[in-house]
Amino acid sequence: MIGVGLATSTDNDTDTDTDTAGERATDTVGRLRDGMARGVLSFPLTSFHADGSLDEDGFRAHLAVQLASGPGAVFPACGTGEFFSLDEDEYRAVVTAAVEETAGRVPVVAGVGYGWAQAARFARVAEEAGADALLVLPHYLVAAPQDGLVAQLEALAARTRLPLIAYQRGPVAYSPDALRRIARVPGVVGLKDGHGDLDRLQRLTLAAPEGFLFFNGASTAELQARAYAAVGVPAYSSAVHAFAPEIANAFFAALRDGDDGTTTALLRDFYGPLAGIRDRVPGYAVSLVKAAARLRGRPVGPVRAPLTDPSPADLAELRALLGTGLAVVGATP
């Protein structure tokens, strides 16, 4: 059974707390596994007003649309949700709103990150808000050896009751040996891969214990979904789900059902061109998603600096591409 790390306690009922936390972690892992098989993993946008302040009502409305389309799990306040720009109060509001709106229908996995001390503080906030698990986002600017990557997860796991999913991207890339080590840390239950190095990923899946969760977190993950599935990682996150769940769900169903015609059509006519626009400007991986959501009338607002909204030319191209993608799946704009 996969356990979970606990904060230090001097209470006489520590053993009972440990058992309860372990049972909750096992239940969460089971729900995540079921959700990954059932639908895409949704990373909702964080809504802001025109002046840049948090728009909690807008976030709730946006999330309601996501939930109505049947995702396998919801990951608020992560990369697509501009975690890096949220202060602690805003983070608490976003995670609390996600838990309340989800109401137990699917797991809520909140993002935490930066150094372990700040990650531990945000982990406490997420736990108090009722999140089911945590996605440990890559740290910024600092390069670290494998021992340091393992130590960070050990330190965080010791300070939260929530299961942890590690995220390798940018400066964070686990070796097979480090993967085996983090998988032994009580509470570390899975890995999101954002590198897209399938040779390395295959080595990690072979090093992992049975039941360890993996999912594809590459940018525009659908472009590599076939290849990830071939190495035993069929689950993936979908940024497109944040603005066009009809397209995201149609692709997921086509891939699952072996409908190569629909899969190829969407890759050729929608996902490939979308990635082409995304790659033009740093930060478009988030900015384009928000812009597309606004094009569909979602109350998500602008991005926060240093991200910038798309140029008028790119926005016009995005509008046309969105219409093409919706037409492929027989949906209306």
Which residues have a catalytic role annotated? Answer: 167, 192
What does the alpha-carbon distance between residue 191 and residue 310 come to, in Å, rounded to a whole number? 31
Whole-angstrom CA distances from 254 to 34, 41, 199, 222 are 19, 16, 25, 11
List all residues 6 or more positions away from 16 whose beta carbon is below 8 Å from its beta carbon.
none
**Which pair of tokens denotes residue 76?**
């608020």
Residue 114: name the closest of 80, 142, 76 by CA.
Answer: 142
Neighbouring C-beta atoms of residue 51, cutoff 10 Å: 8
What strands, in cross-sheet order, belong to the sheet with 133-136? 109-112, 133-136, 164-168, 188-193, 213-216
What is the largest distance, in Å, between two alpha-carbon atoms of the chain? Answer: 64
Cβ atoms 207, 217 nearer than 8 A = no
- Round to the nearest angstrom and report the end-to-end CA distance of the chain: 46
Instruction: List C-alpha distances in Å: 228 to 137, 193, 198, 225, 245.
Output: 20, 10, 7, 5, 21
Is 96 in contact with 129 (CB distance < 8 Å)? Answer: yes
Q: In this structure, what DSSP letter does residue 132 have?
A: S
Query: What would the two tokens of residue 91 be?
Result: 């983070």
The structure tokens listed for 78 are 């992560």
